[in-house]
Chains A and B, each alone.
Chain A
Amino acid sequence: MTPIRAPAAGWNRWLALVPYGFLAPFLLGFAAFWVWPILYSLYLSFADWTGGVTTWVGTRNYERLVTDPIFRQALRNTLLILGLQVPLMITLALLLALALNSTMLRLRALYRFGFFAPLVVGTVSYAAIFRLIFNDQFGILNAGLRVAGLDPVAWLFTPGPAQAVIIIGLTWRWTGYNAIILLAGLQTISRDLYEASAIDGATGWRQTWHITLPLLRPAILFCVVLSVIGTMQLFTEPAILTAGGPANATLTLGLYLYRRAFQSADFGYASAIAYAVALITIVFSLIQFRLFQGARN
């Protein structure tokens, strides 16, 4: 017979300490590399950091932010990309998820893989590929335009088209990812709901509008919030595709922050930029939550 060990008082005390033991490594890393940086960054944003000496300067960095034309341009560019790309991508992802969920579909796994394929390459890789494709002299896209009898476009050297390339790239890359999330959401919706509404005479699009979309709202919200957060910090695509050009037309907040922090070593000001971006992002997230929750009946 295995002896049953009755817990002694000392053992209970030991048991109370055990979770802290499990958490200790995580908390150590978390405190050192997340909590402290978040707080120190806030402090830095109110300071001037020159030659390793930090001096408190109050709101001077933030005042500079508001009047900085390059920051305003970066903000405009980022919001433009955000405003065009996120709705476009979410709509496409939704249509794609609905199509992939269709009962009429054969070879679903094959299609799913095809639309997921853009995620196979890393961000730097796909930016490099797109830079090659959209090259104005020997890029394959312009070659295709010429073959079709159209004028080639100086994609990466004209402001509008350059922004379009970034939007196209982001959409190409992330539509499949969001479609998978939305598809998972679709698959949790019970088919009984559709059958019940079909008895009431509702078909196809009406069903989609009144049943599917409202039930899919949490998943859509999730995708939108993540996309906004990601786009607000966009760095790699503009850095590799266009280097922020032409003439800062594709300079995003993320790229500007990087330049101020790690090329100009303007630590105080860069921290202010970071916090300003964080603030805007959080406000956006709150607005999105409100919009999606408020419309719920």
Chain B
Amino acid sequence: MARQRLVQGFLLHLALTAGVALFTLPLLWMVIAATLPDSELFAYPPRIVPGEWFGRNLEALQRTVGFSRVLLNSVSIAVIYTAASVFLCTMGGYAFAKYRFRGREVLFLGIVATLTIPTYVTLLPQFILITRLGLIDTYWAVVLPTVANALGIFLMRQNMHVVPDDLIESARIDGAGEFQIFWSVALPILRPALAALGIILFLFQWNDYLWPLIVLRSQEAFTVPVALGRLVGLTRVAYGGIMVGTVIATAPFLIVFLFLQRYFVAGITGGAVKQ
């Protein structure tokens, strides 16, 4: 019986290791490809040892799409969006959870119900609206449409129970204003939930392709996915440069995974599993 478990354990680890290798191989290739010149990239037999062309590929990337500007756009948009959206959704979740008002449940249900409607339905009118407001090619064009999102307010309301009602009451009795209570009492307690939501929203915005593609027209305004997508569509595809771009673009994800994984997992499982 113990022997059988040993064999099962060995097979389990073997299968999982093979799986991990398969799953990480494309990423390994991405890193290697970023360090090779195009001539060696296309060689046969394929070269699988890293080269020294990272710097030169990076220069080419900068020359063709102004990558440093693109990177700045992505970072700025993601940061502004995350801060604004977390703020809006937390205030909204606080209102739904901690106050009683007429139509509260109907309104909440209505907001959450829109989650069942695929986002593609809203693309065109959002584009028309952004165009009419003259916001094409600006950060706001990317930030505004999804800043008030149903998922965020839903998650925030779910998390509000960690703020005890008595704490709010006693702060009220002590004479604190309502917003002051929200800011000084509720927010500090909510920090883990804020982090989890913030990470999800940041990664979503960093990674978003379709919407920025629609509203960002000139190269100086591009975000990283849009710029990279542009490069892939050219007739002469400079894969070395593109791979450098993808390597750099993974930086936020890596930071999250290495240091903030707990919050990220809490975020994505928040809706599926009852805590």
Contacts and interface: CB of A to CB of B under 8 A. Distances in A.
Interface of A: 2, 4-5, 15-16, 18-23, 25-30, 32-38, 40-41, 44, 96, 99-100, 102, 104-106, 111, 113-133, 137-138, 140, 143, 146-147, 172, 175-177, 180-181, 184-185, 188, 218-219, 222-223, 229, 232-233, 235-236, 239-240, 243, 254, 257-258, 261-262, 267, 270-271, 274-275, 277-278, 281-282, 285
A2 B225 contact: no
A18 B268 contact: no
B125 A36 contact: yes
Given A37-B125, A132-B33, A22 B210 contact: no
Given A22-B91, A140-B29, A96 B19 contact: yes
Interface stretch (B54-62, B142-150, B189-197): B142-150
Contacts of A147: 45
A229 B268 CA distance: 16
B130 to A, nearest CB: 9
Interface in B88-123: 88-89, 91-92, 94-96, 98-99, 101, 104, 111, 114, 116-123
B175 interface: yes
B144 A235 contact: no
Contact of A130 (B26, B88, B99): B26
B154 to A, nearest CB: 12
A27 B92 CA distance: 8
B26 to A, nearest CB: 5
Contact of A28 (B148, B229, B233, B254): B148
B101 A2 contact: no
A273 to B, nearest CB: 8
Nearest to B122: A37
B159 interface: no
Contacts of B70: none
B166 interface: no
Given A19-B101, A41-B124, A2 B27 contact: no
Interface in B154-199: 173-175, 178-179, 182
Contact of B12 (A23, A25, A99): A99
A187 to B, nearest CB: 9
Contacts of B221: none
A274 B124 contact: yes
Given A115-B19, A121-B246, A129-B26, 5 more contacts: A33-B129, A37-B121, A37-B125, A140-B29, A177-B268
B225 A262 contact: no
A274 B123 contact: yes
A30 B57 CA distance: 43
Q: Which 9 A-B pairs have the closest CB atoms?
A: A29-B148, A114-B20, A37-B125, A125-B246, A19-B99, A22-B95, A138-B42, A37-B122, A26-B92
Nearest to B22: A172
B209 A236 contact: yes
B136 interface: no
Contacts of A131: 232
Nearest to B248: A125
B75 interface: no
Contact of A128 (B150, B206, B232): B232
